[in-house]
Amino acid sequence: MTAELNKTVTLNLIGIIRTPHTTVHGIPVQPVGSRDEGIAELFPEFAEGLADVDGFSHVMLLFHLHEMQKDFKLTITPFMDNKEHGVFATRSPSRPAAIGLSTVEVKKVEGNKLYFEGADMLDGSPLIDIKPFFRNVDNRPDAISGWLENKDAEIASKHRSDDRFTERKAIHKMN
């Protein structure tokens, strides 16, 4: 007999992200397209965990997409295409688990604050985790990029968000 799988999880937040982006409209859709600076402000009890982070050029920020609609579709038209794709083949902010991932450039660390460049998230985004970017492990030179494979290499730098994931009604509703 198989136990029923619990379909929810509770995460402990480690802080909050401060950025100049107060609305979803016009935010860069990827950190590579942003020169905007931000601050990952950890709760004081997690400040010690920032030790040695300033030795890395980049980190990955995991955060909650707290202002995205709770309704979502499993097929969507992403910012960087005009055709529908499965949500898990995109980086759409409207997704079942509502978790964002951004690789950003570390500028400095002071106390409980990590200053970074590449802000592509809303001000006030709840911070779930920080992970260092290891160039020898995280780069995949032979990776294939699916439907993005034949797109302009600069596509992520050129696009900005719009309201497609905040006003549109979707099929599935999260509790």
**pLDDT on residue 101:** 93
H/E run at residue 135: helix 135-138
Domains present along the chain, CATH in parentheses: 15-133+147-173 (2.40.30.70)
3-class DSSP state of 169 = coil
Cβ–Cβ < 8 Å for 116, 40: yes
Put simply, whether the predicted model's pTM sits higher than 0.85 gets the answer no
**pLDDT on residue 167:** 42
3-state helix, strand, coil in the chain (%, to 5): 15, 30, 55
Per residue in 35-87, pLDDT (tens digit) is: 889 999 999 999 999 999 999 999 999 999 887 767 778 888 877 778 898 98
Per residue in 87-121, pLDDT (tens digit) is: 888 877 878 888 999 999 999 999 999 999 999 89
Q: Alpha-carbon distance 76 to 2, whole Å? A: 34
